Structure 1
Amino acid sequence: MALLCVNAFSEEVNIELHKMKEGPSTRSLTIDPVVTYDANTVHIYNSDNLLENLQVTVKDLLGNVVYSNAISISYNQPYSFILNNVESGVYEIELSYGTNLFYGYFCL
């Protein structure tokens, strides 16, 4: 993985998400979240359905968890959170919903 860190000022940048796994599904719901960041604020968008208990985890490259929360996100209502007291560097975000797991990398 090659990720170039460039500080962007007040510009929302898309985080490319990769789907890690999908196990046997007990529901027919598919999700396609979009995650962006602007400075130290992360935004999660969902354009399809209400997502309840979406687990959001942000880790540094050493695997230390710097943010973790189970959230609900409504149709076209983004969920945003601020990463406080974190150093500049590369971070991984993971979104887990049922048997779906997405991950992506971003720089602060």
Structure 2
Amino acid sequence: MLNKKSATQGEDKRSLSIDPRATYDASTLYLYAPLEWENVEVTLYDAYGNVLFTEVVILSPVAYRIELDGFGVKDFMVELTTDEADYYGEFSL
């Protein structure tokens, strides 16, 4: 689950949210969006705030995957930055 950090104006009152979602398993982080979102900056941090990964991507209903095995850490924060809002989530393997 991702939390919204900031937004431009007002609250989202739609019956179906278009906010992005994140899930993970033992070695992979999956990022989704109900609709296609272009120019989403994805940044992955360790527990100390060090940047492990950053990339500008397109999110869609098809999962964008980040393999977590090679980072050598167990606690992460992911941040998604768009023109409209920032989203973040913390997770541990």
TM-score w.r.t. length of structure 1: 0.71
Deviates more, 1:76-85 or 1:91-100: 76-85
1:56 aligned residue (32, 42, 46): 42
Structure whose CA Rg is larger: 1
Q: Which 5+ residue runs of structure 2 have no aligned equivalent? A: 11-16
| Partner residue in 1 for 2:28 | 41
Shift of residue 60, structure 1, vs aligned partner:
0.7
Mapping 1:1-108, distance limit 5 Å = 16-23=1-8, 31-47=18-34, 49-74=35-60, 76-108=61-93
Shift of residue 71, structure 1, vs aligned partner:
0.4
CA-to-partner distance for each residue in 1:4-36, whole Å, 9 max, x for gaps? Answer: xxxxxxxxxxxx2111111359xxxx7411100
Q: What's the RMSD between the two structures over aligned residues?
A: 1.9
Aligned pair count reads 87
Q: Which 5+ residue runs of structure 1 have no aligned equivalent? A: 1-15
Structure 1 segments of 4+ aligned residues over 3 angstroms from their partners: none
CA contact (8 A) 1:67 1:83 kept: no
CA contact (8 A) 1:33 1:46 kept: yes
